[in-house]
Structure 1
Amino acid sequence: MYGLWKTACVLAAIGLLAIIGWHYATGWHPAAKDYPLQGIDLGEAPGPVEWGTVRARGADFAYIVATSGTDRRDPAFEGNWAALPEAGLRRGAVHVFSLCQRADEQANAFNTFVPQAGDALPAAVDIAFHADCTARPDRAVLIEELARFVTMVETHTRKPVLLRITKPVESTYRLSEALARPVWSVANVFVPHYAARPWRMWRASDFRRIDGIEGPVNWDVVAP
């Protein structure tokens, strides 16, 4: 009987520690004293967002996906784009780049869909390996294509484009070495150092949970 009671106590303690650990992990973010500007970025079709609550939970800005490739436009973009300044959040638009489609056509899709806005943060292009595209162009070809995309989008937005480059893509193509644009690095918890130049923005967590958004959220900080 004592053995069963002891086992139950141990299991209860393990369960409590797991709950505490989960709450700590999902609530963690880099210290505001080190990174005063912090915010979120959302993926495609994010679902309903209470932007006022997100602002109250410490977000200063939000990046939202506008377009992907040449033909996907996020249906939630326009509503969220309009709601962000009303909630007191800076806003930025993201294009998810496809290695399988022409860069000029992707830039045209983004420029047509995303309105010019003087208050907008620099646009960002997400460069990652995606399951729906197996193409792996030569490095010189990809650099030329991205340079074309960046030039066209910067002409539209009149601000330098942020390059959100994942570590696998950077390891394969060394894009941050070739394209002189601000880098947005991606790495959970640990400060990333995989780009050729210091990052300007860091996605520090893709598992944080905050009120106002259902499920985990991508939490980002700006370099001080």
Structure 2
Amino acid sequence: MKRTPPVKKIQSKKSVKPKSKRSEKGTFGKISVFALMVLFLAFAIGVLYQYRNGVLYYFGFKSNVNSNELTDEERKLEDIRIFEVLSRHDTKVAGFDVSEYQGNIAWEKIDKIEDDFPLAFVFIRATAGNDRPDLRFEENWKAAKEHYFIRGAYHYYRPNENSIAQADNFIKTVKLRKGDLPPVLDIEKLPKNQSIDSLKVGLRRWLNRVEKHYKVKPIIYSGESYYTDFLREEFKGEYPFWIANYNLFVENIKKDWLIWQFTEKAQIYGIKGLVDVNVFNGNKEDLKAICMR
């Protein structure tokens, strides 16, 4: 039987499959995650370097401090920042502010914050709105004087209440004496039933009435964003400003701020709970120079 030669199979060239879009996306995703990790690490190192003195201080002296108001990590970060800010402003004056919300204050125990920085002045809430006195104003006002703090009083302004009635409420409650700080108008809220222009008219009426009574220009307190958006154009250059800004990356008081409230989460020996702490833009002699004469 005749044998037929085997037929050679022609091998085709192996085709190269193009990379799928899915694999390209996977590679890109890995690169993106890696880049984000690098950026986060750089950010963390930058923060640690920026607050290196506070970090060393905290873990050297305050590692066992706890607060039931914040988590342990939040307390650590806040204490580090407070130490850093006060260290950067060691030629200026530190102070705090209180109201009835701090409860019964042991004034005789208040001296320094973070063990190193003396507290020289205090602002005390006197009134809120057109008829509301702070329930602890009288005792706090008297105790601050007895314990040699330079003291000041502030009014919490309610935009939807009559401005003259609010000014009269403050005047009736607060008797400023020689050596006291100028009165403060605290404005934080927007009106519900009036325009911003109407709000500004009300604020000016309060300021004029209080200035006429005490013969000194009041200080305006507000958050920086509120100040920038609603107050700066109308009042800058005419009134001194006390600005609240708790941003982690704001390191120094600005030139046009009389006072900077840089935290609302401080711990001060003698006061229960959290406390606002402030830096005055000057030394103690400068602070005394703006007081009532």
- 1:26 equivalent in structure 2: 79
Larger helix proportion of the pair: 2
Number of residue-to-residue matches in the alignment: 203
Q: Output one character per residue of 1:159-192: Cα deviation in whole Å (capped at 9) or x when no partner.
A: 211111223433442x122122001111114258
1:128–1:168 CA contact under 8 A, matched in 2? no
1:47-87 Cα distance to aligned partner (Å, 9 max, x none): 01122322344210110110000011111000111111211
CA distance in 1 between counterparts of 2:138 and 2:209 reads: 21
Bigger relative contact order, structure 1 or 2, given CA contacts below 8 A and separation 6+? 1
Runs (5+) with no aligned partner, structure 1: 1-15
Q: Which of 259, 271, 276 is residue 201 of structure 1 equivalent to?
A: 259
Q: Radius of gyration: which is bigger?
A: 2
Fraction of identical pairs, as percent: 24
Unaligned runs of 5+ in 2: 1-62, 65-70, 283-293
Q: Is the 8 A contact 2:99 2:134 kept in 1?
A: no
Structure-2-length-normalised TM-score? 0.63
- Report 1:61-80 matches (<5 A): 61-80=121-140
* Deviation sequence 1:107-155 (CA, Å, 0-9, x none): 000000111312210111110127xxx5163232222211110111112
Match of 2:163 among 79, 94, 103: 103
Contact 2:112–2:268 at 8 Å: present in 1 too? Answer: no
**Partner secondary structure for residue 111 of structure 2:** helix
Identify which of 32, 35, 39 aligns with 2:95. 39
Return the offset for 1:24: 5.2
3-state SS of 2:127 partner: strand
8 Å CA contact 2:120–2:149 kept in 1: the answer is yes
Counterpart-to-counterpart distance in 2, 1:191 and 1:105: 39
The one-letter amino acid paired with 1:26 is D
Q: Among 198, 201, 218, which residue is 1:141 paired with?
A: 198
- What is the Cα deviation at residue 19 of structure 1? 4.6
